[in-house]
Amino acid sequence: MFQIRCDLHLHTNHSNDSREPLENYCKQALAIGVDCLCFTEHADHNPKDPGYGIYDAGAFFEEFQRVKRIYAPKLKLLAGIEFSEPHLYQEGLKSYERFPYDFILGSVHFWGDDMFPGEMIQRGVSVEKCFEDYWPDVLKSVKSGGFDCVGHLDFPKRYYRKLIYSKEFLGEICTEMVRNGIILEVNTSSLRAGLDEAMPNADMLEIYKKCGGRYFTMGSDSHMAKDLYTFVDEAKKIALGLGLEEVYFEGRKMIKA
């Protein structure tokens, strides 16, 4: 089976939307047999984002090093961020280069009229309009680069519970990712939300592969320790079945899991 069980998308009380201490994830990992954790706190540079100005990299690393000293013999602990809208905040993204991150996820959380999908639903933005505005921003984000992996590629699906994409445009995004050395995350938070597929689904993973994509990371996108690694084995099986290879990152270098 799997050589190493990784969950590379986790939020703790260093993110604006989680209250979970890092250590609780370590305890849960030991309890359920997960080997490798990456904390990917929200780094939000959009003033409209509720996470704006909250993340403190210095405070995070202080706590991360303390927890790592305790758990390092038993767990591989990695430091990351989930950086929002890399195409809009390249200077902000660069400001993290002075910290020793292992892994940087790039995610598009706000788009269109600068809204989060939850707000779009409230304001009656149609699912068609939502996706129509979303995909070009994903393309812009992978073109601007500066990160290792795209977080939750078909993100609006988690909110609208519907998926719209054009194979051609997705192909363009994936081709640009490969060209720019950016890989794909398989995110299981949609499964936890009751949908029947991960983000992205198998069809999209096939397009990624056709465009030359070879590698993926696994992430539960947990905000609570009890959600650590949920649905990861199931979703990973699908990606591995397509011939893709699971990896994790250490010091921003890709390593086969």
Q: Can you give the binding site for Zn ion, defined by CB under 5 A?
A: 82, 107, 221
Choose between 118 and 212: whose C-beta lies nearer to Zn ion.
118
**HEC profile of 88-156:** CCHHHHHCCCCCCCCEEEEECCCECCCECHHHHHHCCCCHHHHHHHHHHHHHHHHHHCCCCEECCCCCH
Q: How far is the CB of 241 from Zn ion (least distance, A)?
A: 25
Q: How far is the CB of 170 from Zn ion (least distance, A)?
A: 19
Q: What share of the chain is helix, strand, coil (3-state, %, to 5)?
A: 40, 20, 40
Choose between 201 and 220: whose C-beta lies nearer to Zn ion.
220
Choose between 44 and 179: whose C-beta lies nearer to Zn ion.
44
Q: How far is the CB of 69 from Zn ion (least distance, A)?
A: 26
Q: Residue 19's CB: how many other CB atoms inside 10 A? A: 11
Q: How far is the CB of 155 from Zn ion (least distance, A)?
A: 7
Choose between 39 and 71: whose C-beta lies nearer to Zn ion.
39
